[in-house]
Amino acid sequence: MKATELADSLGVSIEKGLHEKEVQKRRRNVGSNQLQEGKKSSVFSIFIKQFQDFMVIILLVAMAFSAWLGETLDAVAILAIILLNAVLGTVQEVRAENSLNALMKLSAPLAFVLREGEWKRLEAVDLVPGDIVQLESGNRIPADVRFIKAESLSIEESALTGESIAVDKTDEPLQGTNIPLADQRNMGFMGTMVVRGKALAIVVATGMKTEMGKIANLIQTAETMETPLQRRLEQLGKILVVVALLLTVLVVLTGIWQGQDVYQMFLAGVSLAVAAIPEGLPAIVTIALALGVQRMIKRNAIVRKLPSVETLGCATIICSDKTGTLTQNQMTVQKMWVPTETMDVSGVGYQPVGKFVRSGKEVIPTEHSSFCRLLEIAVLCNNAVFKQSEEWQVDGDPTEGALLVVGKKAGLEKSELLKSYSKEKEYPFDSARKMMTVLCRSSKGQQLAMVKGAPDILLDKCTHYLQNGKVSRLTDTVRKQIQSQNDLMAKKALRVLAFAFREGRFSLSQGVRTVEEQLIFVGLMGMVDPPREEVKEAIERCRIAGIRTVMITGDHQATAEAIAEQLGMRRSFGLTLTGQDMATMKEREFEELVEKVDVFARVTPEHKLLIVKALQAKGHVVAMTGDGVNDAPAIKSADIGIAMGKTGTDVSKEASSLILADDNFSTIVSAIEEGRNIYDNIRKFISYLLASNVGEILIMFFAMLGGLPIPLVPIQILWVNLVTDGLPAMALGVDPAEEDAMKRSPRNAKEGIFARGIGWKIVTRGLLIGLASWLAFWVAYTEPGSDLTRAQTIAFATLVFAQLVYVFDCRSETTIFGRNPLSNRPLLLAVASSVVLLLVVVYLPSLQPIFHTTALGLRDWVLITVTSCLPVIVAGLLDQVFRRKQMMATASAARNVG
């Protein structure tokens, strides 16, 4: 629509604005111009919700039984664990809901509004559709607007659309339907920033109806995914309860059948039930995750949600935003061309360090007359400011900033050039002319018009060209060379600017069209938002680890594909899809195609969310990285959302699970390695805890079957569960990563906690530990002159030592000999502490009556040592035989295929 037609449809006069009564009426209909919060749960209700988890309910039951048995210390420990987990869960949920508050901060606080023929500065919250607003450089746009008049207008929209450079705007109507957000050149969106020019605009949407409001709604409605670890622990809790209750009931009934005292068997049964449920498991998981978080902080990864650490370990796809994540979000000049000569420029970003290379040799560009003039025009025909605080920064248009940086690399600074050239007049860039011109006067009194602009437009204004300091007439042959060079740079996804000048006498009252004619062409500059140097290697490491990286960007298709090629992201059969392509596809059609796509370009926030959900529907564990407001909904819905710490908006950070403090994509690889190691360690201590608990139950069961007395009293079972199980299990949580951590494929997110042989290991080791402990008890009890207390003490000590030997077997999923036992010092310390505590219980007279123990002699310790080592020795031999049979079967199958 034309601006006048739009004004008529909105019932507003462009000259006078809205009447106050009409404003009140519209506000009642559409509400205030602010983002609305969804219904929020109170902190107390979030805290109470933490106790609805199945494992927590079981722990509450275990706590009640412990208190009933008089084991106050055990009950208090379980209660502390439950409260710790509840507090951590509450903090995480409250933080997650803060993303909308961060989004609200992007709204403009004030706006310059036309009401009843007068311009007023009002709070942006008071705007309604139809309001006429005025915008200028430095203003944040207060609502979604359509431009009525745009003068040299350029808007920074990267946080919303992913566009890596400021967008030039127009007040002209656009043709077509379903125009992508980033291509709506006559529109301005709430929260984006005016970096150049000024405009008159009409408000077309406010509050939750704006594009920013749509994102706010997506954040509110986006589901927070339950992590694979949370799902597996819930599954584990249910299995443990069923198995523990069955085994405990079996032991109690067997004991009663053998003639044991009913009350004593009931107490023993309750003790076994409490022991069988590893109440320390949630605490040890929390501690393992927390220690992993500390290690990741040292590697510049800040974790906001503890379970997400482990989730990274099974990520199969990383969906990465381009601008600011894969690239530096700092436009950089890479090529300069003057007729017949090319110069490459090294260095990336705003750091003014780099070399100029021509024909393979490093040169000084200012010693070449044409390149020197090209750089002078780039620096002087420029309104950006290049400055250094902690780091080099650009205030103004990123493209103009790139021109100042390349000038400084060559030794040309604007402040120094202005001593030789004084600016007399500027004709600002506008979207119609696509050029900018400044009139300068040299120290010798000579007047120059310096021009930069779009190559195709500027070239039409040129009649001559500069070559080796000489001005020659621009022939068709040279014109074709210039066009060819422009096309070559564009194919490499470089943004190309052309530069020209004109000498003469100019009146300051002259119109721009008179000045910008009969120009002398100087050259071209090609620039790009360069990839981060470390990203290519990081993507390759991901590929080796079985993780695919997909680019999702709001930028142009050609630019996205060029960056993907440079980074090695594209597969030979990989496809590129644009937002427009997605808009024409049915949901099922898109889901069938999504795994074949390596690059998504020109997408909206809704598209990003759709991509994440489609990949999740295909069974992928998705990590989503980004830094802009437009990334926030997808970041929140991904299995793990990753935000940039330096360049990321508050909105993206608050929606994320992980923040990269250094904005370094390679930090994700380190985090994935850490996540894999943490999950490996969780499996290790689950294997340790459950096999130990199985051993405790089976020693009682075997004794009941054999008609023997109870080998362990309740206090001994609870002591083993609290002390012997807890300390070594915590130490397993900090076990160093195995060498192949990043050389194996991601595990299946649906994989059970007992997959890959862990279930078999728990059963066999538990059985062997139970048999060995029962054997020691049987030998001691049946010896002539032996008493029950001595036999129970030997069984108690054997069980403890068998578990402490088994903890070293848990460090490898293959064999106890697979890893150096001295490489985990905390584990050695934990084992030593458990041994010392056992000796204290056995030999300290004041504790002997409490724990039903007696002092043991050397002969007893020989029996304990031999029997406690038997489980690992037997298991090791069985594993060797099993692996040998597997290898022989594999070799035989290979021969048959051959």
- The catalytic site residues sit at 321
Give which of 612, 662, 661, 602 is closest to 632, Cα–Cα.
612
Q: Compute CA 795 distance to the chain's CA centroid, rounded to the nearest angstrom.
A: 50
Is-contact 329 341, C-beta < 8 A? Answer: no
Order across the sheet with 301-303: list the strands.
Answer: 301-303, 658-660, 640-644, 622-626, 317-321, 548-552, 597-601, 575-578
Give me the phi and psi of 489, to 5 degrees please: -65, -40
DSSP state of 398: H
Contact present, 681 and 732 (Cβ < 8 Å): yes
Of the candidates 788, 772, 769, 807, which has an alpha carbon nearest to the alpha carbon of residue 853?
788
Asked if 90 and 302 count as a contact pair (C-beta separation under 8 A), the reply is: no
Q: How far apart are CA 348 and CA 529, in angstroms?
A: 9
Which pairs count as long-range contacts for 438-445, CB under 8 Å and 24+ apart, including other chains? 438/380, 438/381, 439/506, 439/508, 439/515, 440/380, 443/419
Q: List, in sequence order, the alpha helices (H) in 69-185.
A: 72-96, 99-104, 158-161
Nearest one of 650, 637, 655 to 102, comparing CA atoms: 650
- Nearby residues of 651 by Cβ (< 8 Å), 6 or more positions away: 99, 102, 103, 106, 215, 219, 629, 632
d(CA 166, CA 551): 21
Cα maximum dimension of the chain: 123
Strands 144-156 and 167-168: antiparallel
Could you identify the residue written with the tokens 């595990």? 747
Can you read off the two tokens belonging to residue 648?
Answer: 């990321």
Q: Could you give the CA distance from residue 320 to residue 435 in angstroms, rounded to a whole number?
A: 34
Q: How far is the C-alpha of 764 from the C-alpha of 770, rounded, in Å? A: 10
Distance between alpha carbon 494 and the CA centroid of its chain, in Å?
28
Cα–Cα distance for residue pair 13/4, rounded to 1 Å: 9
Cα dihedral 403, 404, 405, 408, rounded to 10, equals 130
3-class state of residue 437 by DSSP: strand
Supply the DSSP symbol for 350: T
CA end-to-end distance (rounded Å), the chain: 72
| Residue 449 identity (one-letter amino acid) | A
Query: Are 731 and 826 contacting, i.e. CB atoms less than 8 angstroms apart?
Result: yes
Alpha carbon distance 754, 371 (integer Å)? 68
724, 792, 850 from 716: Cα distances, Å: 11, 9, 9
Cα 447 to Cα 470: distance, rounded to the nearest angstrom: 18
Q: How far apart are CA 709 and CA 162, in angstroms?
A: 73
Extended beta strands in 627-674, E state? 640-644, 658-660
Instruction: Please list, in sequence order, all residues whose beta carbon lies within 8 angstroms of the beta carbon of residue 102, skipping any fewer than 6 positions away.
Output: 649, 650, 651, 653, 654
Cα atoms in the Cβ-side hemisphere of radius 13 Å centred on 212: 34
List CB contacts of 877: < 8 A, sequence separation 6 or more: none
Record the tokens describing residue 447, joined without a space.
């007047």
With both helix axes pointing from N to C terminus, report the angle between 281-298 and 228-257 in degrees, rounded to the nearest 10. 150
